[in-house]
Structure 1
Amino acid sequence: MADSKVWPDGYRCAVVVTVDYNDIHGILTQAPEVAGRDKTLSVWRYGSQRGVDRLLGLLAELEVPGTWCVPGIVGEENPGHIQAILAAGHEIACAGYRHQNYDNLTLAEQTADVAKGCEALARLTGNRPTGFRIPAGNGAPGFIQALHQQGIRWSSSWRGDDLPFAHPTAPDVIELPLHYELEDEPYFAFNLSPAVPPGQSRIASYSHTLGNLLMDFAGFHRFGLCYVLRLHPEIIATPGRIGLLRELLESIQRHPDVWLTTAGDVAHWWAASATSVTEDHPAAVYERQYRSQGE
C-alpha cells in the first residue's frame, strides 16, 4: 500500500508529463540514413508543424503542467515554440545541444554537449535549465558528477525504479526513472521506408494502448509511486492520438489524491526528504562497478 508520507499534502502518488521535443534531430540520431530525405523527415517535422501547438492546447485546456526536454539546437531552430512553451508555464529541461548517442562520446564530449545545450536554452529562456534528459545512449563514468557541476539538479534518463532516487555519486542530483510502457514511441513510432522501427511491427491499437497506460497508472497510484509519462509531439499529437492522451489525463485528474506536477517540483521535494539508495539499487550497483574498474 502507499505511504502517505512519501508525497506532500497527503498526495498518494505523483504524475509527471514530460515531452521530448526533438524535431528531426532525434530520428537523425536513430537512423542517420534518412538525412536529406525530406519526405521521411516530414514525419518528424510534424511535431513542429502541428504537434507542439496541439499538445500545448490540450495541456492548457486541462491545466496540466508539463516538462519539455529540448536539445539546444531544436530551441535555436524553433524559438517561437520555446516562447510558447514558456508562456504556457511549462518547465524546460536540457537534452544536450545536438541530439546525439552519448555512447559514442567521451565524458569530456558529453559534458561539453550538456554545457552548450544549457547555454543555448538559457539564451532563449533567460534561465539556465536545472533538469536534464539524455538524448540517447548512456552517460560515461563520472557523468552524473559532471551534470551536477553544470547546475543540473534532476535527471530523467535512467530506468530500474518507480520512485525518484538521489544518485550515490552526486546526491544533489535526483533521478526520475522512466519506463518503456509509459512512452508513446514504443507503441506508435513508424515509417515505412526506410523502416522505423527496423522490425516494422507497429502501429499499436489506440484503445489497447490507452488501456495499458490506464492499467499502469492504476498500479502506480495503488503503490504510491511516480508515474513519468514520456511523450513526443510528432507522435502523440496527431488528430486521433491527442484524444487518447486527453482520455488518459482526464482519468488521472479524476483522482484528487494525485500530485500532477513538473519534474522539477518532484525533484525538489525528493531532494529534501530522500534517503540513500540501498546496496542492491541499480545506481549503487553501477557505482560499485565503476569504482572497481578504476582500481
Structure 2
Amino acid sequence: MPTSDTGEPTPSWRWPEETWRGHVEAVRAGRRLVPARWPGGARVAVALSFDSDHETIPLRDGETSPGRLAQGEYGARAGAPRILELLARHQVPATFFMPAVSARLHPDEARAYTRDGHELAVHGWIHERNTLLGHDDERELTARALETLTELTGQRPTGIRTPSWDFSDSTLRIMLELGFSYDSSLMADDEPYEVLAKGRPTGLVEIPVDWIRDDAPYFTMDRYGSVRPHSRPRDVREIWVDEFDAAYRAGGVFQLTLHPHVIGHRSRLVALRELLDHIAAHTGVWYATHAQVAEASRAVLRTPPDSAGAHDTRPDHPEATP
C-alpha cells in the first residue's frame, strides 16, 4: 500500500490509476466455464459442500474452553453422521473441505467421506486466517494440510477452499505451485470461471461461493458478541430454493456451503432435507463433487471461446424457462 512522506498510508482517493488498477487486476475472473450441457446431458449441476471445521474455529483463535470446543465437537459427533445419512438416502455426492487439524482429531470421519464416495478437499491447517500470513507460513501450512489429508485417506485432494474465503498476495501462487486444479473461495460470478493473475490465464478453475449460499451467516451464535441467529431454517430454505431455481433456468451451477456444526442441528437439517426434496423433483439434475464440476468446466477451456457452447440465459431463450 502506498505511503505518504510521513509514513502514513496514502488515502485510496490519492492513489494513481496504476495503483488501484493493479490491486483490482491482481486476481480477476476470466472466462466463464459453463458447458452447453453438463455430463449425461444434465441441465444443471448441483455441488453441495460442507466445511468440517469442528474444533478448529476456537483453536485458531487460541480459545480452549470446553464450552467453545464442545460447539465444534457437535459437528463431528452429531452433525456429520446425520449429514452422511441424509446424503446417502438421497444418493447425493458432496465435497467436504476439512482443516487438517480437524481431520487429525477425527480421522475416521475423514476416511468415511472418501469411503462413501464423497470428495475430501483442503481447508487449511487449523482454519488459520491465511490473509494475515506471510508467504512461507502460508505455503507451509497449506502443504502440510495437503499432505495430512493424503496420508489419512490415500487420496490426494485436487481442490482447496481457503479458510479466510480470500487470497493473500501469495495464495494464488501457492495454489499453482502445489498443483491444485480448482479453488472455491472467491465470489466474482455465479458460475465457474478461470482465475486470471494480472490478466494472464492460470488454468485454475474457480467454483465461486457466496454468503447467500452459506448457512453460517444465518445461524451463527456468538454469546459475547453481537452475532445472533435471526433466521428461521425454512426461511433460509426458501432463499436456497430460489437460488437453485435460478441456476436451473440458466443451466449453470447451484453451489452450497454448509457446516456440520451449524446445519447439523435437528431443526436446521429439515431445511436441507426439504431443499434436496425440491431439487429431486426436477429432471436433468447432475449431482457432483466440486472436483467433478471443475473437470467438466475445464473442458470449456479446451474449446475456442466462440464455440464453447455456454448457455444463453436471456429471458426469451427457451432454456430460461422451467
| TM-score of the two chains, using structure 1 as the length reference | 0.85
Aligned pair partner of 1:125 in 153, 163, 177: 153
Contact conserved, 1:110 with 1:139, CA < 8 A, in 2? Answer: no
Q: Is residue 218 of structure 2 the alignment partner of residue 187 of structure 1?
A: yes
- More moved, 38-47 vs 49-58: 38-47
Name the CA distance, whole Å, in 1 between partners of 2:73 and 2:144: 23
Q: Which amino acid aligns with 2:70?
A: S
Q: Which runs of 5+ in 1 are unaligned?
A: 278-295
Aligned pair partner of 1:112 in 117, 130, 140: 140
Aligned pair partner of 1:40 in 48, 51, 68: 68
Q: Which amino acid aligns with 1:62?
A: H
In the other structure, the counterpart of 1:283 is: none
Cα 1:189–1:255 shift into 2, 3 Å:
same
In the other structure, the counterpart of 1:281 is: none
Name the CA distance, whole Å, in 2 between partners of 1:255 and 1:61: 17
In the other structure, the counterpart of 2:241 is: 214
Name the CA distance, whole Å, in 2 between partners of 1:276 and 1:228: 26
Name the CA distance, whole Å, in 1 between partners of 2:253 and 2:147: 29
Aligned pair partner of 1:25 in 34, 46, 56: 56
Cα 1:256–1:27 shift into 2, 3 Å:
farther
In the other structure, the counterpart of 2:311 is: none
Q: Offset at 1:89?
A: 0.8
Alpha-carbon deviations, 1:76-118, whole Å to 9, x = none?
1111111211221100001121210012101222121110000
Q: Which amino acid aligns with 2:204?
A: V
Contact conserved, 1:13 with 1:257, CA < 8 A, in 2? Answer: yes
Contact conserved, 2:222 with 2:228, CA < 8 A, in 1? Answer: no
Any residues of structure 2 matched to 1:60-79 within 5 Å, and which? 60-79=88-107
Contact conserved, 2:132 with 2:168, CA < 8 A, in 1? Answer: no
Aligned pair partner of 1:261 in 288, 296, 307: 288
In the other structure, the counterpart of 2:30 is: none
Query: Would you say how many aligned residue pairs link Structure 1 and Structure 2?
Result: 268
In the other structure, the counterpart of 1:284 is: none
Name the CA distance, whole Å, in 1 between partners of 2:221 and 2:86: 23
Q: Offset at 1:4?
A: 7.2
Any residues of structure 2 matched to 1:8-19 within 5 Å, and which? 8-19=39-50
Contact conserved, 1:17 with 1:66, CA < 8 A, in 2? Answer: yes
Q: Is residue 190 of structure 2 the alignment partner of residue 159 of structure 1?
A: no
Name the CA distance, whole Å, in 2 between partners of 1:104 and 1:21: 22
In the other structure, the counterpart of 1:230 is: 257
Superposition CA RMSD, Å? 1.9
Structure 1 stretches of 4+ moved >4 Å: none
Name the CA distance, whole Å, in 2 between partners of 1:244 and 1:124: 32
Contact conserved, 2:220 with 2:228, CA < 8 A, in 1? Answer: no
Q: Is residue 121 of structure 2 the alignment partner of residue 93 of structure 1?
A: yes
Q: Offset at 1:41?
A: 2.6
In the other structure, the counterpart of 1:173 is: 204
Name the CA distance, whole Å, in 1 between partners of 2:298 and 2:108: 33
Cα 1:243–1:166 shift into 2, 3 Å:
same
Q: Is residue 172 of structure 2 the alignment partner of residue 144 of structure 1?
A: yes
Q: Offset at 1:235?
A: 0.8
Cα 1:8–1:89 shift into 2, 3 Å:
closer
Name the larger-Rg structure: 2
Name the CA distance, whole Å, in 1 between partners of 2:144 and 2:121: 13
Name the CA distance, whole Å, in 1 between partners of 2:167 and 2:238: 33
Cα 1:117–1:101 shift into 2, 3 Å:
same
Contact conserved, 1:14 with 1:227, CA < 8 A, in 2? Answer: yes
